[in-house]
Amino acid sequence: MKKLILTFMALLAIGLMGCDNSSQLADYTVTCTLHGHQQHDSATLLVLEDTYNQLRRCGTTRIQDGTCTFKGQTDGPKVGIIRWDNDSTKPFYFVLEGGHTSITIEAGSWTITGSKGNSNYLHYINQRKAIMDARVGAWQEYLKMAADKSLKREDERRLVVQDSLLNDSLQRITVDCINRGDAVGRIVNERYGNLLDDEHLKLLK
């Protein structure tokens, strides 16, 4: 009898824990605005669940006058993925969390406002863009000097070292972001983890 009571109390505790988790749900609203040549008829919101990396479909909505909105609930920051016209080849990643998130997408650029997680994600993207722009600038300098035959050996060495340092910086900020272990880290891992070299892959936790 005593064993039966203990089993019942354990099951009751598990049930109460489940009720507590449901009370932690937060409402979210995601508004997407498309500008420029972005021509789509519908958008589908998916969430990458923490368990087994399974995608859960949250809904599909039509895009009217370049705008669409998703509403629902989440129990914490998640990796949100938007597919346009159910096309899985060019998904848009962001952090889905409670509150209002505004996404604006233009030709070649995008912005996200309204949540701390997406501010952190945007910070990484801006860092990445600055480093990539610097690498492109160094490469263009190399090509220019090679074209006008002004390229000297010391210039070549300098530009090679510069590119190597920039690449190391890019790899390190990616590793640091992934090792955070939060939704931002999961997005960065999904999008850029495969670009890490063997040396920096070893630094992942």
Secondary structure of 135-156 in HEC code, one letter for each residue: HHHHHHHHHHHHHCCCCCHHHH
Ramachandran area for residue 197 (φ above 0: left; ψ -120 to 50: alpha; else beta): beta
Q: Choose the weakest-confidence range: 9-13, 51-55, 95-99.
A: 9-13
Beta-bridge mates of residue 62: 42
Residue-level pLDDT at 23: 52
For the record, the structure tokens of 160 come out as 């090679």
pLDDT in tens, 134-174: 999 999 999 999 999 999 999 999 999 999 999 999 999 99
Residue-level pLDDT at 92: 93
For the record, the structure tokens of 198 come out as 């063997």
For the record, the structure tokens of 189 come out as 């891992």
Phi, psi of 185 (to 5 degrees): -60, -35
Instruction: For residue 188, give the nearest of 118, 116, 107, 101 by alpha carbon.
Output: 118
Q: Check residues 14 and 182 and name the one with the higher pLDDT.
A: 182
In which band, very low, low, confident or very high, does the pLDDT at 13 lie, cut at 50, 70 and 90?
Answer: very low
In which band, very low, low, confident or very high, does the pLDDT at 40 lie, cut at 50, 70 and 90?
Answer: confident
Region 102-115: mean pLDDT is: 89
- H-run or E-run covering 171: helix 153-178
Give yes or no for residue 189 having a pLDDT over 80: yes
Give yes or no for residue 16 having a pLDDT over 50: no
Buried b / exposed e along 171-193 (16+ C-beta atoms within 10 A) = bebbbebbeeebbbbbbbbbebb
Ramachandran area for residue 18 (φ above 0: left; ψ -120 to 50: alpha; else beta): alpha
Decide: 175 and 164 in contact? Cβ < 8 Å: no
Q: Choose the weakest-confidence range: 38-52, 134-148, 175-189.
A: 38-52
Task: Say how far apart CA 191 and CA 169 lie, in whole Å.
Answer: 17
